[in-house]
Structure 1
């Protein structure tokens, strides 16, 4: 079993590589965007089914770090400051399952708002709600509960949430003085709250194994 899990883990790392390497590439600018305030709050998050626990402080720190890594002034040295505010609304840090039988998925639900520093105005009329899955969860029979620690799951979700924020910004680049982009679909990023809209997306078709 250990050998099988090890091989599955290698498959996951291979599948993750391209997504996780994107911070090493110099991005195209998003209009005049330059990161001002980097705000993350976790007021009262919903912890989904079969989830490990994480504190508000852990989520806030992970989210701020992911935003700072992606939007630092070396990568986006624009001429105008904009602020990003993120609220953690819910999460699942998948507990270990059984490969090929029961492997719940890890997800993070956030809302994000953008503000222009010069005018002190909010750029999006309504808060933008997004659900992100771990970038390495494309292998359906292996949940990250077996291959990753709680801390690694949390960091991976925050990383992908920052990716989702960048996608939203590019699709609405006029907010930052740029030209909107049409991006290919990303199955690890969806609009809305999957815990409410589609809870079956988190749980596999199988039932969890019986516990004594």
Structure 2
């Protein structure tokens, strides 16, 4: 009998391995802003999920659903930072597992999401990280997930949970690289008069209220 080798994409292998480890911290609640992000302001948030690979048994999800969920969560969490230096974040969704219904406490598949992330400095016109940063998150432990989120949550709620956790991990990754972010000026008098941050924001999103992130 001839054996046929099956090639499994590395992102899928990494996600399978992640399903065996402990649960991820929950990104549902917003903590204090991270001082390490300095003068950060999120300009473009770009998510691509066209080539995302579902693990066997996963509930289905469209690329647009992942893109909308992660962009929305980046705006919620990272849009709090109201600095004057513009950055762009690109996320590539590589693999996911949206847990289906199972047998509570016996066979309860867990949800997980694997992405890569890049950060661009708008003023410098270049990417700051040398290679895409890989992030893999699972679902946080709660009364609903401990018996299997596929039994207690809708597919949309599971995706939202994973989006929250992956953006929390993105925030932590940014904070672990403080050299990318100059400190915020102590007062308006210290700002460069040639930089009109409000004008830049209005150009990016003319419908956004003054001084707010979108």
Q: Scaled by the length of structure 2, what TM-score is found? A: 0.69
Note the C-alpha offset of 1:20.
4.9
Note the C-alpha offset of 1:62.
0.4
| Counterpart mapping for 1:66-85 below 5 A | 66-72=73-79, 75-85=80-90
Note the C-alpha offset of 1:100.
1.7
Runs of 5+ unmatched residues, structure 1? 1-17, 179-212
Runs of 5+ unmatched residues, structure 2? 1-24, 184-214
Q: Of 157, 160, 164, which aligns to 2:169?
A: 164
For the pair 1:37 / 2:44, whether they are aligned, the reply is yes
How many positions carry a matched residue from both structures?
159
Closer/same/farther in 2, CA of residues 20 and 127 from structure 1, 3 Å limit? closer
Aligned to 1:129: 134
Greater relative CO (CA pairs within 8 A, separation 6+): 2
Aligned to 2:179: 174
For the pair 1:27 / 2:57, whether they are aligned, the reply is no
Aligned to 1:96: 101
Following the alignment from structure 1 to structure 2, what is the Cα–Cα distance between the partners of residues 167 and 110? 15
Aligned to 2:7: none
CA-atom RMSD, angstroms? 2.1
Note the C-alpha offset of 1:147.
1.1
Q: Scaled by the length of structure 1, what TM-score is found? A: 0.70
Select the structure of larger CA radius of gyration. 2
Note the C-alpha offset of 1:32.
1.5
Equivalent residues of 1:31, 1:174 under 8 A apart: no
